[in-house]
């Protein structure tokens, strides 16, 4: 068994991001839900335990808590945000509701002498990401404050005799200065980890687990053309070979000429793929639907229906392979205690009853880890470097009611945006770039005539893991060319605007 740091998930949107940061340091992590028993945690012989943030208040009736015996296991414990407040409450401290909430980047200042994880190499003042309403008003006995905010709020504490630590801020996000260094201090200085875990080890174990789970049955895979489903298929193909049958469903919600190009790429890597054109079926059921959650659930249900119909034609097919990754799981609120952000078609959008069992080998990985995995198993760069594209496709970028005409408008605008970014040499360096069609009309003037048409939004972001994102600062001359081309070449558009919102507070997609 590899060295483990156990992360106890109390429902934070950032739980897996903690795991990702530690994996970057080659430290193996396991995520367990907050209701895990101390004995379950002990069975993994943890080098340390991290208690995540969460959406609750520790003072709420029925608030998430952990088995008290976990704090007696004798290994170091780090609480982050809600986790810090939970440690404080469970060890005799006092947590109260603040007069105002703290969301966003905040300055903190080291206090109380040297700290085991806020060591000498950490600056005396740090800008960190806060996201909380409560705070620790009174420290438990034996604890000391190791940093404070400008307003005098305790932003970190520790009890060095028991190796208990708390951070009111989130060290796992990139907007926290020296956040990875702080986690590194906990993992190596406090927990004494060796840092010898590799993603390639995960590959070997996962292939073995897939073979054991599938046995003699067959797997049907829904390929979308995206990185996640493609890497999932290649991984499972390595595990079970010709017992995998892939199906590519054209739901009529893809970008310009994408179905044809995707099929050629799959052919080039030797996957057995059946093409199914279900575009009329999808567009028929989506007609008149403008609620984003309903859109996602309709698409999720139809995907499963189509796949089950195709599976029924394959003798022995019992499994549905999906490219679900962890941001999908977290945003869909499917882990007990986590908040629903939006239902992903392959997670929260799935119907309650299914005839196929789900196989989701990537559900605990982030996008960048999926790309690394693709390289490890020998996939071509053209596939693994592709920009993310949502499973529901243009349905979540065509706001309001979906029609074929509006989708064609969006496709044309999106193709122009991507074309100009490629010509400027910018496309490959952007995590995701796309257009959104708004169901909002405004007055314009073209050829001395009044127009009353819809608007296109340009959205381009940089990210490492899809959990947080910053909007891309594209050269204005490029934006100007895109705007002029869209207004001149795409019928029905007379206004182009740009989304300059990061995640949080926004999500990457608009729906």
The answer to whether residue 26 sits within a structural domain is yes
Active-site pick, 81, 221, 398, 435? 81
**Do the bridges between strand 144-149 and strand 470-471 make them parallel or antiparallel, or are there none, so unpaired?**
unpaired
Both structure tokens of 370 = 């999926």
Q: Are 91 and 207 in contact (CB under 8 A)?
A: no
The answer to whether residue 508 sits within a structural domain is no
272: CATH: 3.40.50.620
CA distance 153 to 402: 49
Write down which residue in 170, 190, 210 finishes a domain: 190
Q: Are 459 and 503 in contact (CB under 8 A)?
A: no
The answer to whether residue 390 sits within a structural domain is no
For residues 210-238, average pLDDT: 90
107: CATH: 3.40.50.880
The answer to whether residue 389 sits within a structural domain is no
| Greater model confidence, 215 or 382 | 215
Q: Are residues 11 and 40 in the same domain?
A: yes
DSSP 3-state of 117: coil
Active-site pick, 170, 251, 344, 345? 170
**Predicted structure pTM score:** 0.65
Q: Is the pLDDT of residue 342 over 60?
A: no
Least confident of 51-55, 96-100, 170-174, 256-260: 96-100
Q: Are residues 96 and 224 in the same domain?
A: no
Instruction: Write phi, then psi, for 8 (nearest 5 degrees).
Output: -90, 115
The answer to whether residue 510 sits within a structural domain is no
Write down which residue in 137, 163, 190 finishes a domain: 190
Catalytic (active site) residue 191 = no
The answer to whether residue 484 sits within a structural domain is yes
For residues 36-49, average pLDDT: 95
Q: Are residues 38 and 179 in the same domain?
A: yes
Positive or negative CA dihedral for 240, 16, 9, 201?
Answer: positive
Least confident of 74-78, 91-95, 195-199, 430-434: 195-199
CA distance 405 to 410: 9
For residues 8-20, average pLDDT: 87
Q: Are residues 241 and 333 in the same domain?
A: yes
Q: What does the chain come to in residues?
A: 511
Write down which residue in 173, 190, 207 finishes a domain: 190
Q: Are residues 363 and 411 in the same domain?
A: no
pLDDT given at position 102: 64
Q: Are residues 260 and 119 in the same domain?
A: no
pLDDT given at position 1: 67
Q: pLDDT tier at 381 (50, 70, 90 boundaries)? A: confident
Catalytic (active site) residue 81 = yes
Closest CA to 89 of 79, 98, 99: 79
C-alpha distances in angstroms, 460 versus 340, 463, 476? 24, 10, 13
Structure confidence by residue, pLDDT tens digits, 155-174: 999 999 999 999 999 999 88
Q: Are residues 262 and 325 in the same domain?
A: yes
Q: Are residues 248 and 169 in the same domain?
A: no
Structure confidence by residue, pLDDT tens digits, 264-309: 888 888 888 999 999 999 999 999 899 999 999 999 899 888 877 8
pLDDT given at position 345: 43
Share of the chain above pLDDT 70, in %: 92
pLDDT given at position 266: 87
Q: Are residues 49 and 112 in the same domain?
A: yes
pLDDT given at position 502: 92
> Which residues does residue 77 pair with via DSSP β-bridges, in sequence order?
49, 164
Both structure tokens of 41 = 């945690």
Active-site pick, 3, 172, 331, 509? 172
Q: Are residues 135 and 65 in the same domain?
A: yes
467: CATH: 3.30.300.10
For residues 371-391, average pLDDT: 87
233: containing domain? 199-384
Q: Is the pLDDT of residue 357 over 90?
A: no
How many Cα atoms within 13 Å fall on the side-chain side of residue 384? Answer: 20
> Which residues does residue 219 pair with via DSSP β-bridges, in sequence order?
244, 319
Torsion of CA 33, 35, 40, 42, to 10 degrees: 90
Residue recorded with tokens 């793929």: 273
Domain count, the chain: 3
The answer to whether residue 392 sits within a structural domain is no
Structure confidence by residue, pLDDT tens digits, 447-489: 878 999 999 999 999 987 677 889 999 999 999 999 999 999 9
CA distance 410 to 397: 8
Both structure tokens of 499 = 């989304």
CA distance 131 to 179: 15
Q: Are residues 222 and 186 in the same domain?
A: no
The answer to whether residue 414 sits within a structural domain is yes
Q: Are 255 and 394 in contact (CB under 8 A)?
A: yes
Q: Are residues 327 and 221 in the same domain?
A: yes
């Amino acid at each position: 068994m590899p060295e483990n740091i156990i992360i106890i998930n109390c429902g934070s949107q950032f739980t897996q991001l903690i795991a990702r940061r530690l994996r970057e340091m080659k430290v193996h992590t396991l995520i367990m839900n907050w209701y895990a028993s101390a004995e379950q945690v002990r069975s993994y012989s943890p080098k340390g335990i991290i208690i995540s943030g969460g959406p609750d208040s520790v003072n709420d009736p029925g608030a998430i808590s952990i088995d008290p015996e976990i704090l007696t296991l004798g290994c170091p414990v780090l609480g982050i945000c809600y986790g810090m407040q939970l440690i404080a409450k469970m060890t005799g401290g006092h947590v109260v509701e603040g007069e105002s909430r703290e969301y966003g980047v905040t300055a903190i200042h080291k206090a109380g002498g040297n700290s085991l994880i806020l060591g000498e190499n950490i600056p005396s003042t740090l800008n960190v990401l806060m996201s909380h309403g409560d705070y620790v008003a009174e420290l438990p006995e034996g604890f000391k404050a190791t940093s404070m905010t400008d307003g005098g709020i305790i932003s970190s504490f520790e009890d060095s005799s028991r190796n208990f630590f708390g951070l009111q801020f989130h060290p796992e996000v990139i907007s926290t200065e020296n956040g990875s260094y702080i986690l590194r201090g906990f993992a190596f200085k406090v927990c004494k980890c060796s840092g010898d875990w590799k993603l390639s080890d995960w590959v070997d174990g996962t292939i073995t687990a897939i073979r054991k789970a599938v046995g003699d049955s067959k797997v049907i895979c829904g390929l979308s053309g995206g990185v996640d489903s493609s890497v999932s298929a290649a991984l499972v193909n390595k595990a079970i070979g010709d017992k995998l049958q892939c199906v590519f469903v054209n739901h009529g919600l893809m970008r310009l000429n994408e179905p044809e190009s995707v099929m050629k790429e799959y052919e080039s890597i030797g996957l057995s793929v059946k093409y199914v054109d279900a575009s009329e079926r999808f567009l028929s059921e989506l007609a008149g639907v403008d609620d984003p959650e309903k859109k996602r659930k309709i698409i999720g249900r139809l995907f499963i229906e189509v796949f089950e119909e195709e599976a029924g034609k394959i003798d022995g097919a019992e499994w549905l392979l999906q490219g679900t990754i962890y941001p999908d799981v977290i945003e869909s609120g499917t882990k007990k205690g986590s908040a629903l952000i939006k239902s992903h078609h392959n997670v929260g959008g799935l119907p309650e009853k299914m005839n196929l069992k789900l196989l989701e080998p990537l559900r605990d990985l982030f996008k960048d880890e999926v790309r690394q995995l693709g390289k490890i198993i020998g996939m071509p760069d053209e596939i693994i470097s592709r920009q993310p594209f949502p499973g529901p496709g243009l349905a979540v970028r065509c706001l309001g009611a979906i029609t074929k005409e509006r989708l064609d408008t969006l496709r044309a605008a999106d193709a122009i945006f991507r074309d100009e970014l490629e010509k400027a040499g910018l496309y490959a360096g952007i995590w995701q770039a796309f257009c959104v069609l708004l169901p909002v009309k405004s007055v314009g003037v073209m050829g001395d005539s009044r127009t009353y048409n819809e608007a296109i939004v340009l959205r381009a972001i940089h990210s490492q893991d899809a959990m947080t994102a910053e909007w891309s600062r594209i050269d204005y001359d490029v934006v100007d060319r895109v705007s002029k081309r869209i207004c001149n070449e795409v019928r029905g558009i007379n206004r182009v605007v740009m989304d300059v919102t990061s995640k949080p507070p926004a999500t990457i997609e608009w729906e």
